Structure 1
Amino acid sequence: MITTLSAEALALNPIRFEVSFKEPQAHYAEITMEIDRVKEDYVDVKMPVWAPGSYLVREFSKNVEGFHAKDANGRPLTSRKVSKNTWRVSSKGAGKIMVSYRVYAFEVSVRTSFIDASHAFLSPTGIFMYVDNQINRPAEVKIIPHKSWNKISTGLMEKEGEVNTYFAADFDILFDAPIEVGNQDVFEFTAAGIPHEVAMVSGGNYDKVRLAKDMAKIVESATAIFGENPNKKYVFIVHNYHSGGGGLEHLNSTVLGASRFNYNSESGYKSFLSLVAHEYFHLWNIKRLRPEALGPFNYDQENYTTNLWIGEGFTAYYDNLLVRRAGFHTEDSYLQMLATDVTAVENRPGNQVQPLSESSFDAWIKYYRQDENSLNSIVSYYNKGALIAMMMDLKILHSTKGQKGLDDVMREAYNEFYKKQGKGYSDAAFKDLAEKVAGTSLDDIYHLVNTAGSPDYNKYLQFVGLELVDLNAGYETPDLGIKTSTTDNKLLVQNVIRGGGAWDGGINVKDELIAINGYRIDATGKELERVVQASRIGDVVKMLVSRDGIIQELAVKVQASKTGKYAFMPAENVTAEQQQLREKWLAEQ
């Protein structure tokens, strides 16, 4: 699939890069950067500190080595580092500056570059530098594959007449176009009138014919929501690992992590399709329809928004829903997955502490930097955002008597903010638009977003004749309120649950549990579990622990477990209207 550019576009004086691989086995890429028409006394060359779609400052400049600059005649130019990610080059009237540097790349993830003898995955924000204040300048990238590699997969446009050379109209586009170089297994399919390329890296037990057919269904299902597909082509880069997962969205491509031998299991295959659906839905939601803070990007620092519950949470709602609409989930299995989200949210004490909007805003410092207390202090804008999306969808279906739903909000928002206004939405603007579609106030939904705590799920589920039940309700299971792990044949405390007996009794994370009520605890925790389960609610047990080598005995009160197990059940006396709305909500396409 080759997309070419006009001579007018190519005449915009791009910054030119060349990427080669002299030592791929040592995990290095060699980069040269040609900056033409330099008129200033100096040029600041910068490396981004984060990758859009992954809200954490990752300090990509830490992987840069051997930065040098010279003029067009090969004469050295003075350069010095002036900040953690900025190199200042004195031009001396050179007119053209040639920069060279190396990047070490050996971190396995969908958002970081990885190079070894078998292939190179280039996550562009960690590979390509830019000239300060020249993000809007075009860029060309020439890839020189290692001699043992023969394929390049990327969403970048190919430059006509030049081998392995690609063009980006600006650096936002360049930074949004990952590049896979190697011997990947490539297959194609067409869906929604758009050619799609799938680059499978590192093998696996996948069936290309089946995948092409089923991924096409996901694409068609997502496109139907928005009424158009804005791509000229789309590229899936799939990294298959012994055990892998995750994905990162891009403008006309995505990078997926998968387990290479999971394609033959029903659950593994459907999980992969949900990942495909999630990242593909981002093509509209986040990459085009976006919060106002997420573009144009500041690549030097965090870009804060309170709306990741929409950008990520709504996408997490639609991923499994699209798989359901495409015919891969039964109604019951889909509802079970929604109940799993409820379980994840309600069994997390942080749900009672952190509002969803704050979870979005603080993603940079909390969600992507979780520690042993995160369970108690934060909530996921993915899980809870998906549940908010569900409740909003059900409320709109109810208020419009099934004529409209969340699909209509997303389509209208895409048309209004992206296509008509060409900018991101504010909190208030998105709410106003959603209420206009719904024909009713959404204050109750936004109250759930802006305050911590458990929603009244059944307030919304009853619209479609369903009821959320806690299968553990009525049972009192003795519990200490800790999670443990075994390390070096020692039973260690991994988490202490807020409000539990261990929390009140002073048990600490990293405490080694030695004995309970005078009985030695085995490293697997079976004896601990036996004694606790034999206790009564309110009993006080004596815990012998080692904390930094100091032996202590602590009194811990046994409490009833607060862990819920949730399921969606049919409500009693379901009306015809409720049944019709449920069919509308969960219908296959």
Structure 2
Amino acid sequence: MLYVLNLRQKNYNMLLKRIGIGLLMLIAPALVAKAQIKVNYEVSFKEPQAHYVHVNMQVDGLTKEYIDVKMPVWAPGSYLIREFSRNVEGFIATSGKTVLKTEKLKKNTWRVYTGKSSTIAIDYNVYAFEVSVRTPFIDATHAFISPTAIFMYPDNHLALSSTVKVIPFEGWGKVSTGLEPVKGQKFTYIAKNYDILFDSPIEVGNQEVFEFTAAGVKHEVAMYGGGNYNAERLKVDMAKVVEQATAIYGENPNKHYTFIVHNFQRGGGGLEHLNSTVLGASRNGYGTENGYKGFLSLVAHEYHHLWNVKRLRPVALGPFDYENENYTTDLWIAEGFTAYYENKLMLRAGLTTPEEFVATLTSSMSDVINTPGGYEQSAAMSSFDAWIKYYRPNENSNNSSISYYSKGEIVGMLMDLEIAHATQGKSSLDDVMKAMYEQCKTKGRGYTDAEFKAKAEQISGISLTDFWAKYVNGTDTVDYKKYLGFAGISVKDAGKKAAYLGVASRPAEGHVLITAISRNSAAWVDGLNVGDEVISIDDVTAAPSISSMAVVRTKKVGEVIRVRIIRDGIDQEIKVTLKASPNVDLVSSMDPASTASEKAVFKRWTGV
């Protein structure tokens, strides 16, 4: 009987071996064909003054009669379909001197018929003239390459490696990027796959470059546009931020890191990348303490993304689908918590005081409480609807939505205090973030909302179901006295419940135009509209800021004002009964008589 069983097992093993060899023979040609494909890009600037970049895309190792190439429709980190292909011009494919047949299949896809050639060249131009950290910009002074808006990719081949050779325009001499350089080839870089290529912006021109080392990592700062910054001071203070961020997670995952900073007359914003970031700044803003600290806060925010978003990320955010929306309900963690941590990093780096830290968060909490849309949209839905709401605001957005940045910042603070209080100062949100970072590394994927909640509950030792219901999936008013009280901080509302009209306005062509109306305000209830031209209030000529007019400020709640407007060319008068202001103006103070427990929470919360 044993002999028969062994014989059957032997025959079974032989069968498996034959099946395996057969499958390998079937799969191998496809694997070889895929492995043989090579992609090389050459980027040049024939007409930078006209805002064009020329891309030459060489594709080798083709075996099919055609290849489809695609342009991404959005840039990771900026959750909006931007339709980058709309800026593509002059698409042409060749094999040697032969022009190949091409066909545009849809908005971002071109089919190239190879004519049985194994090697083809695809040339196209991209118009780039939008100033932002997420879109390419080219002029006579420099070129900023935002890769998802510049580079096409072979369909179904996102795992391919590629090289990028940059040919700077005449007079330009520097290239700054997080991409790995190819040894012995000037301004030539390699990306192991398209996720890396698309996550590696490139600055070309004559930018000032300085370096510093922090957390064992070399950091390059590329400054375009000049400015009144002090490079030596920035080296020291940026290094402090890097060290404090690394301390939270216990390691810095990069070999090198690149800051690309665009200094304009008025600039702002940032976009995170795998081992780099792009920052917008005001070139003369470094000269004031507020301006300087504002820039360092931006540095802290984007650098924290090195972990939170790029590696510690919601499961939907990678591997990316570059053609469609990538929905997640967790941007309040990915972006909101990062907005919160920029404050903690500034404090721990010694760049702000504990009093400033508390005051900043208290002010942010006031803003969230005073946003009517926060009672209509939860943090989770704000995240999910980012694709249709956050980057497409209108005159009613303040009434219908809440920013996942601002709401997430406050939820992060509340959760941090809840954990520190529950553990008597032994743990904080830092421990959750580090544990989730390790989990994402171990599992090789992002987290779900349930997994993040479970980890926070594990570390805090309490149920957070009620917390999630109120502040993540719900729209409850923030219980600021309770949570800040955990750390021995007193908070009171210093706002005056004065008469309140509830409009925002601006001057426009000699008139005063209503630009926004707050939900349930007097203006909302009695029928003033966005777009109304206000001529006068109680026969007093309208001022650009209607709400600050004495004729409004000196009224009492319940009094009626006469607002003369022009709507659609018709002169009319609307009577408005003033209501009490619903807004809060929170003021915080640290209680000198706080308990030992409160002091322990404060210490763990702030880290100082």
Q: Same-fold call, TM > 0.5?
A: yes
- 1:381 maps onto 2:401 in alignment: no
User: Alpha-carbon deviation of 1:12?
Assistant: 6.7
Name the amino acid aligned to 2:567.
R
1:549 correspondence with 2:572: no
Q: Any unmatched runs of 5+ in structure 2?
A: 1-34
Residue 129 of structure 2: SS of its match in structure 1?
A: coil
Give the letter aligned to residue 84 of structure 2. F
| Structure 1 residues 159-238: aligned runs within 5 Å | 159-238=182-261
* 1:580 and 2:600 are equivalent in the alignment: yes
Please say which of residues 552-561 and 130-139 is displaced more in the overlay: 552-561
Amino acid at match of 1:553: E
2:444 corresponds in structure 1 to 422
Q: Does 1:56 align with 2:77?
A: no
Q: Tell me the residue number matched to 1:327.
A: 350
CA distance, structure 1, for counterparts of residue 554 and residue 588 of structure 2 = 31
State the distance in 2 between where 1:240 and 1:409 align: 36
Helix, strand or coil at the partner of 1:532: helix
State the match for 2:466 in structure 1: 444
Structure 2 match to 1:90: 113
Is 1:68 the counterpart of 2:96? The answer is no
Structure 2 partner of 1:39: 63
Instruction: Specify the SS of the correspondent of 2:549.
Output: helix
Tell me: CA distance 1:525–1:567, structure 2 relative to 1, closer, same or farther (3 Å). Answer: closer
- Deviation of 1:76 (Å): 0.8
- Aligned position for 1:500: 521
Alignment partner of 1:116 out of 122, 136, 139: 139
SS at match of 2:195: helix
The equivalent position to 2:415 in structure 1, one of 384, 392, 414, is 392
Instruction: Tell me the amino acid that sits aligned with residue 66 of structure 1.
Output: G
Between the aligned partners of 1:340 and 1:498, the Cα distance in structure 2 is 21
Deviations 1:163-182 (A, max 9, x none): 11100000000000000000
Shift of 1:160: 1.2
- Taking the aligned partners of 2:163 and 2:502, their CA distance within structure 1 comes to 56
- Greater CA deviation, 451-460 or 79-88? 451-460
Residue 520 of structure 1 deviates from its aligned partner by 4.2
CA distance, structure 2, for counterparts of residue 524 and residue 314 of structure 1: 36
Secondary structure of the residue aligned to 2:85 is: helix
Which of residues 458, 479, 482 is equivalent to 2:500? 479
Whether the 8 Å CA contact 1:516–1:528 is kept in 2: the answer is: no
Using the TM superposition, give the Cα deviation of residue 222 of structure 1 relative to its aligned residue in structure 2, in angstroms.
0.1
Q: Please give the secondary structure, in 1, of the residue aligned with 2:334.
A: helix
Matches within 5 A, 1:145-544: 145-417=168-440, 419-447=441-469, 448-472=471-495, 475-517=496-538, 519-525=539-545, 529-544=549-564
Secondary structure of 1:382's counterpart equals: helix
**Distance in 2, Cα, partners of 1:37 & 1:569:** 68
> Do the aligned partners of 1:521 and 1:527 also contact (CA within 8 Å) in 2?
no
Moved more, 22-31 or 552-561: 552-561
Q: How far 1:563 moved relative to its partner?
A: 2.2
Q: Which amino acid aligns with 2:179?
A: L
Q: What residue in structure 1 maps to residue 580 of structure 2?
A: 560
Equivalent residue letter for 1:42:
Y
Residue 425 of structure 1: CA displacement? Answer: 0.6
Indicate the SS of the match to 2:218: strand
Rounded to whole Å, the distance in 2 between the matches of 1:43 and 1:530 is 69
> What is the alpha-carbon distance in structure 2 between the residues aligned to residue 385 and residue 443 of structure 1?
17
Say which SS state the counterpart of residue 483 (structure 1) adopts. strand
Deviates more, 1:554-563 or 1:241-250: 554-563
Bigger share in helix: 2
Count how many residue pairs are aligned between Structure 1 and Structure 2: 573
The letter of the residue matching 1:577 is: S
Q: Deviations over 1:517-544 (max 9, x none)?
A: 3x14234346971211232211122211
In 2, the alpha carbon distance for the partners of 1:327 and 1:255 equals 24
The offset of 1:264, in angstroms, is: 1.6
Change (3 A) 1:53 1:526: closer
Secondary structure of 2:190's aligned partner: strand
Letter in 1 for 2:352: H
2:329 and 2:384 in contact (8 A); partners too: yes
CA 1:502/1:527 → structure 2, altered by over 3 Å: closer, same or farther?
closer
Q: Would the aligned equivalents of 2:373 and 2:399 in 1 still touch at CA under 8 Å? A: yes
CA distance change for structure 1 residues 344 and 478 in 2, over 3 Å: closer, same or farther? Answer: same
Please identify, of 116-125 and 334-343, the stretch whose mean Cα deviation from structure 2 is larger: 334-343
> Matched residues in 2 for 1:271 and 1:459: separation?
29
Select between 196-205 and 427-436 the one with higher mean Cα deviation.
Answer: 427-436
Offset of residue 456 of structure 1: 1.2
2:594 corresponds to 1:570: no
Residues 1:124 and 1:291: Cα distance change in structure 2 (over 3 Å): same
Structure 1 counterpart of 2:544, one-letter code:
T
| Code of the aligned partner of 1:32 | N
Give CA-to-partner distance per residue, 1:214-240, whole Å, 9 cap, x none.
100000000000000000100000000
Distance 1:403 1:281 in 2: 23
Q: 1:486 to 1:388 in 2, by over 3 A?
A: same
Aligned to 2:10: none
Q: Identity of aligned pairs, percent? A: 53
1:21-69 deviations in Å (ceiling 9; x for gaps): 0011110000010111112222111110000000011111111000000
Distance in 2, matches of 1:539 and 1:58, equals: 48
Cα-Cα RMSD: 1.4
Contact 2:336–2:408 under 8 Å retained in 1: yes
2-structure distance, mates of 1:262, 1:12:
51
Measured at CA, do residues 527 and 346 of structure 1 come closer, stay the same or move farther in structure 2, by a change above 3 Å?
A: closer
- Which digits, 9 at most, give the CA deviation of each residue in 1:246-304, with x for residues without a partner? 00000000000011111121111111111000000000000011001000101001100
Quote how far apart the aligned CAs of 1:435 are: 1.1
Alpha-carbon distance, 1:571 to partner: 4.9
Name the CA distance, whole Å, in 2 between partners of 1:392 and 1:439: 13
State whether residues 158 and 165 of structure 1, in contact with CA within 8 Å, keep that contact through their aligned partners in structure 2.
yes
How far 1:573 moved relative to its partner? 5.0
Match of 1:127 among 150, 153, 157: 150
Q: Is the 8 A contact 1:124 1:178 kept in 2?
A: yes
Q: Which amino acid aligns with 1:204?
A: G
Distance apart, 1:587 and its partner CA: 3.5
User: Aligned to 1:58, what secondary structure does the other structure show?
Assistant: coil
SS, match of residue 166 in structure 2: strand
Between the aligned partners of 1:492 and 1:300, the Cα distance in structure 2 is 39
Q: Is the 8 A contact 2:217 2:256 kept in 1?
A: yes
One-letter identity of the residue aligned with 1:480: L
**Aligned residue identity for 1:68:** I
Using the alignment, how far apart are the partners of 1:471 and 1:405 within structure 2? 30
